[in-house]
Structure formats: C-alpha cells, structure tokens
C-alpha cells in the first residue's frame, strides 16, 4: 500500500498568516492527490484535487503544489473558518490512503 | 443540490449487527461509485472500500473483508453498510462518500454527515 506521511501533526498559526502543510508519498503517485478539510464535528470536504486544482467553491487562498513525491497545501492568509483538520489522500492506486492529518489551530 | 443523507446514530452490543444507510439526491445515483470511510474516535480517515452503483459489485479494503457488507437499493438511490459481529474496535463514525471523477482520477467530492456507531456491553 502507498503510505502518505503528513506533517506537521499539529500547527498553531495567527490570523492572516501563511500556513503550509506537506504530505510525502512513499512512491510515485503523479498528480493523483487530494486535500480535504474537516471542521470539528463535520464531514470532510474536498479542497484540492489533482494536486493543484481547486474544488468548486473553495476560496482562492487555498493552493496545492507538488515537488516530486512531496505535496503541499498552502493557505495564503489564514482565516478563522480555516480551523480544522486537513488530510491528504492519494488516488493513484487502491487502497486509497489518507495521511494522518494536520490539526490547525489559531494562535 | 447534491446531498448524501445518512441514518442516525447506533448503540449496539458486541456480537450484534448494524446496517446504516446513505441516501443520495441531486444526481443520478448510478453514475457515481459510492465509497465508505471509517473514522475512529480521535483518529484519522480509513478507506473501507467501494461499491459499483451500476452493477452492485462491492470491493473491500483488506481490513474490511470479513464482517462488512456493502449493498444498494438502486430504486431508492440508497447505499448500505452492514457490519456483522460487532466488536469494540468498530466504534467509529462511518461516512459514505461519492467518488467523483476529475482529470482522469477519482476523488471523494461529496460526503454524508456520518453515522456514529457505538459498540458497548
């Protein structure tokens, strides 16, 4: 199975700050990577697919990038509503595997 | 609008079975596969498998091949997850999620609200 190593496990940041979360794939997954946001008590929501494409309705302050087998999610100016847990997920091959998650809190 | 509405919370004893539902609306049910994802308390997301909504064929991840059953009621646009012989480790929230296709691959684009299943003696 493809392992997705996500870092950091938790992150505390201030409003308007730039936040970056990374995910390292254990093997080549091309651009087949998604990012999800899960707010407290809610179901996950798709943010980014294809490593860099923004899902419908997602604010433009979110962006995704790829460098080899390392993937990054960037929030350009952190807002209160961005608080939650973020997961990466590889869609290259079954079984679909998720990263362990990054808990984002306000400082 | 597209919605996946799941059934309510369940409290079960070890050894019992549970069947939870996921009703889809706002799109053609058979055009998209349905997946199931487990989230144990305080834990991350674990993909359980998927069901082909056109053929009804289920595919299970390795950890979910023994006691888990995916099924459909296509006429009602509803997918089901049944868990047999429940044990404490099955205590979790279970999500159904649609597998949407984007740029040649599938991603989980719509999610149900989740069903909390508690297994306790």
For strands A33-38 and A45-49, give the pairing: antiparallel
pLDDT tens column, A3-40: 999 999 999 999 999 999 999 999 999 999 999 999 99
d(CA B84, CA B72) in angstroms, rounded, equals 17
pLDDT at B106 over 90: no
Mutate to test the interface with B, among A2, A95, A97, A101 (most CBs of B within 10 A): A95
Chain B residues in contact with A95 by the CB 8 A cut-off are 47, 49, 61-62
Instruction: Tell me which chain A residue has its CA closest to the CA of residue B6.
Output: A43
pLDDT at B49 over 90: yes
d(CA A29, CA B110) in angstroms, rounded, equals 23
pLDDT of residue B24: 98
For residue B35, give the H/E element and its range.
Answer: strand B33-39
Does the beta-carbon distance from A46 to B61 stay under 8 Å? no
Q: What are phi and psi of A81, to 5 degrees?
A: -75, 0
Question: Which residues does A26 contact at the CB level (< 8 Å), separation at least 6?
Answer: A2, A3, A4, A5, A69
pLDDT of residue B105: 84
Is residue A80 within 8 Å of residue A39, measured between CB atoms?
no
pLDDT of residue B120: 97
pLDDT at B103 over 90: no
pLDDT at B6 over 90: yes
Q: What are phi and psi of B48, to 5 degrees?
A: -100, -25
Using the structure block, give the residue that is written with the tokens 């919605």: B3
pLDDT at B63 over 90: yes
Chain A residues in contact with B108 by the CB 8 A cut-off are 34, 36, 44, 46, 89
What average pLDDT score do residues B7-28 get? 98
pLDDT-derived band at B102, boundaries 50, 70, 90: confident
pLDDT at B71 over 90: yes
- The answer to whether residue A58 neighbours chain B at the CB level (below 8 Å) is no
pLDDT-derived band at B35, boundaries 50, 70, 90: very high
pLDDT at B118 over 90: yes
Instruction: Identify the bridge partners of residue B34 per DSSP, sorted by sequence position.
Output: B51, B98
- The answer to whether residue A98 neighbours chain B at the CB level (below 8 Å) is yes
């Amino acid at each position: 199975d493809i392992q997705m190593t996500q870092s950091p496990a938790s992150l505390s940041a201030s409003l308007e700050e730039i936040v970056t979360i990374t995910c390292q794939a254990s093997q080549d997954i091309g651009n087949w990577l998604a990012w999800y946001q899960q707010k407290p008590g809610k179901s996950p929501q798709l943010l980014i697919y294809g490593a860099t494409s923004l899902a419908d309705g997602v604010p433009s302050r979110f962006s995704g990038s790829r460098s080899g087998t390392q993937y990054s999610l960037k929030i350009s100016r952190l807002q209160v509503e961005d608080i939650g847990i973020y997961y990466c997920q590889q869609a290259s091959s079954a079984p679909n595997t998720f990263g362990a998650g990054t808990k984002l809190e306000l400082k | 609008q597209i919605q996946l509405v799941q059934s309510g919370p369940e409290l079960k004893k070890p050894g019992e079975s549970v069947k939870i539902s996921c009703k889809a609306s706002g799109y053609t049910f058979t055009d998209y596969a349905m997946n199931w994802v487990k989230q144990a308390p305080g834990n991350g997301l674990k993909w359980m498998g998927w069901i082909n909504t056109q053929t009804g064929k289920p595919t299970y991840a390795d950890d979910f091949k023994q006691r888990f059953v995916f099924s459909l009621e296509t006429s009602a646009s509803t997918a089901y997850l049944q868990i047999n012989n429940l044990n404490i480790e099955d205590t979790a929230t279970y999500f159904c999620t649609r597998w949407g296709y984007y740029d040649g691959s599938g991603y989980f684009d719509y999610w149900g609200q989740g069903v909390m299943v508690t297994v306790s003696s």
